[in-house]
Amino acid sequence: MAFASLPLNSYSAPNIIPAAPQLSSSGYILLDADTGKVLVEHNADEQLPPASLTKMMTGYIVSGDIEKGKIGEQDLVNISVAAWKMGGSKMFIREGTQVPVIDLLRGVIIQSGNDASVALAEYVSGSESAFVDVMNQQAALLGMNGTHYENATGWPADGHLTTARDLSLLARALINDHPEHYALYAEKYFTYGAPGENPKTQANRNKLLFTDESVDGIKTGHTEEAGYCLVASSKRDGMRLISVVMGTASEKARASESQKLLAYGFRYFQTHQVYGAGDVLSTNRVWSGKQNQVDIGVAERVALTIPRGAEKELKAEMKLPEVIHAPLVAGQEIGLLTISLEGEVLYEQPLVVKADVEEAGFLARIWDAIKLFFSGLFGG
């Protein structure tokens, strides 16, 4: 294998990053939504009651079914007695009426309606218990290993638990997998009235939407057992952060503690795109091929979360075979790209061939073999 360093930027003095803020919270985490890099965490794997943060999974599943065409936004949902009788926060739907799916989804996201959550669960899966089974399966698929659901609302129940880390994974999935419906989480008000009743306008319980224009979601939760919880997401200058704060003492505290995390992340870190998916990092000689050169690069965009201003200190190194033989297929792994910062490896992924290279004819292969022999590379 041959090694080659890739020029990135000239050296600059490293930035000094202070210790992360300490929050009055049972558990919390801050991560870069783009790269998944965790910037701050405390008790992030402790299982805690999620309260209405549960509805993030309810919304995720409903959005997924809409995008897959299993249900439609304008489908009319028959409201059951069970949904109508739900206590706690409500959308104020009425038993025996029909409500469009998209209105119920807004009721879940903006008004945190327990009634709307049960109505959607029954519509999607036939019963809330069947829907809960889907919730737990989906949690497993997302790697939410510390999560178990007992209902679609977050109503207190034995064994109904999650973690700050799991909620950050779910928030990232909401943002990346269902961007169209994620926009609903930024809506500040929703007005709904059952037939024959005066419409009720309710404000989104995420107070950061009203105080920080960079915040565009996600969800609040509160029960006596869970305390005041908030999953928030904010985007500034091309960087999106997700904060999860659980078990604070008040509605005001969950907002202020979340702001501390977000402010710290944006002040001291940045999302830096090192390479695009189409970038060519090297053009190499190909032996025994119909073409004698091939472009080599990365399969996907390379973005890293780094200390703000540290992009000039990144170092990239390619590890490639000394001799590359045809045939080659576009996307074929051919080497390794390593990117480090001050000796710490931040990224390590295979390099790939950018285009097919067919094997040359017999005489051309013989001629290349002779040239390799005389250059001392035969069999390399």
* Residues that are catalytic: 52, 55, 112
Mapping DSSP onto H, E and C, the string for the chain reads CEEEEECCCCCCCCCCCCCCCCCCCCEEEEEECCCCCEEEEECCCCCECCHHHHHHHHHHHHHHHHHCCCCCCCCEEECCHHHHCCCCCCCCCCCCCEEEHHHHHHHHHCCCCHHHHHHHHHHHHCCHHHHHHHHHHHHHHCCCCCCECCCCCCCCCCCCEECHHHHHHHHHHHHHHCHHHHHHHHCCEEEECCCCCCCEEEECCCCHHHHCCCEEEEEEEEECCCEEEEEEEEEECCEEEEEEEEEECCHHHHHHHHHHHHHHHHHHEEEEEEECCCCEEEEEECECECCCEEEEECCCCEEEEEECCHHHHEEEEEEECCCCECCECCCCEEEEEEEEECCEEEEEEEEEECCCECECCHHHHHHHHHHHHHCCCCCC
Angle 66-71-75 from CA coordinates, rounded to 5°: 115
**Cα 361 versus chain centre, distance:** 48
